[in-house]
Amino acid sequence: MPGGRDVAAVNDVSFDLAAGECLALVGESGCGKSVLASALLGLLPANARTRGSARLAPEGPDLLTASQAMLSRTVRGRRLGLIPQSPSAHLTPVRTVRAQLEETVREVTGTPRAGLRAATRRAAERAAFPLDHLDRYPHQLSGGLAQRAATALALVGEAPLLIADEPTTGLDRDLVDRTVDELRRHVDDGHGLLVITHDLAAAERIADRVAVMYAGRIVELRSSPDFFGEPGPRHPYAAGLLDALPERAFVPIPGLPPELDALPAGCAFAPRCPAASETCATLPAFAGGLACHHPREAVADA
């Protein structure tokens, strides 16, 4: 773009996700989590550039290069569902929740007219959306109710892969647990779930594996029990995220993440990292689930 700036929002990201598995993508705001989701859904701005590939199955189309017509006709909502980060913006403002749910149920499941009302009620109940609010318009919903409406819409299609971008935003803790447990049931029914969240308690409750993103890169990827339990995260940033939780050490990570258009040449976490050394002026490669020159055990042994 003439006069514009190039921003490398996501770099060298590689992961797989099996049917019946949940991967939680965690990290501070602005680390590239939602950009990654938008890339998978073909929802990046027109001037965005992508490299690499993303496939729903080995022989399936590449989501990064598929046409918008193909993505909207055969992928989005059918093979790849989305619980969006801004649900009220995602809902159609001039139609009630019932109208939108009924249309989705009819189009995606082929439910005949006679069974549509009951199927719509079941879809709403699944996401804990109150039935007496079904005839409301999106602007009449709180943020939490809009979130539940969007969740109900996303679950209808039974898509093999669901991307949930901050699905618990605006919900109180009880509803967080209820939403997370419903999403977990969806996973246990054999669907894949990529959940993007800054809510580590929700991630611990739902995820099989955790991927930690920092400054556009995955810096640690490991099983949820290892990450949240023993031996715990090895990357200093990942450890810092857990230490910042009120129920743990409650010690925030000092400083702020870097701007994505002004990343340092080496490890982007170095200015905030207690273990940084001269070696960290070179970018650590991602290997064995980790991108760090001095992972935690190495620091402890030093």
Comparing CA positions, the residue from 93, 85, 15, 26 lying closest to residue 55 is 15
CB of 217 to ligand SF4, least distance (A): 11
What is the sign of the dihedral through the CA atoms of 133, 134, 135 and 139? positive
147/46 Cα distance (integer angstroms):
27
Q: Is 147 exposed, middle or buried (0-12, 13-18, 19+ CB in 10 A)?
A: buried
Segment near ligand SF4 (CB under 6 A); pick from 86-94, 100-108, 205-213, 290-298: 290-298
CB of 280 to ligand SF4, least distance (A): 3
DSSP code at position 257: P
User: Under 8 Å CB-to-CB from 8, ≥6 apart: which residues?
Assistant: 216, 260, 261, 263
User: Under 8 Å CB-to-CB from 210, ≥6 apart: which residues?
Assistant: 23, 24, 26, 203, 220, 221, 222, 223, 224, 227, 228
Q: Does 22 bind ligand SF4 (CB under 6 A)?
A: no
Segment near ligand SF4 (CB under 6 A); pick from 15-23, 147-155, 181-189, 273-281: 273-281
CB of 248 to ligand SF4, least distance (A): 19
Of 210-269, binders to ligand SF4 (CB under 6 A) are 235-237, 267, 269
Total residues interacting with ligand SF4, rule: CB under 6 A: 14
Indicate the residue among 24 and 280 with the shorter CB distance to ligand SF4.
Answer: 280
* Neighbouring-strand partners of residue 62: 55
Q: Does 31 bind ligand SF4 (CB under 6 A)?
A: no
User: Under 8 Å CB-to-CB from 148, ≥6 apart: which residues?
Assistant: 127, 128, 129, 171, 175, 179
CB of 103 to ligand SF4, least distance (A): 48
Q: Among residues 108, 276, 286, 289, which is the contact residue for ligand SF4, using CB under 6 A?
A: 276
CB of 52 to ligand SF4, least distance (A): 23
CB of 273 to ligand SF4, least distance (A): 3
Q: Among residues 105, 163, 187, 292, which is the contact residue for ligand SF4, using CB under 6 A?
A: 292
Indicate the residue among 20 and 289 with the shorter CB distance to ligand SF4.
Answer: 289
Comparing CA positions, the residue from 186, 179, 98 lying closest to residue 106 is 98
Catalog residues that contact ligand SF4 under the rule CB under 6 A. 235-237, 267, 269-270, 273, 275-276, 280, 284, 292-294
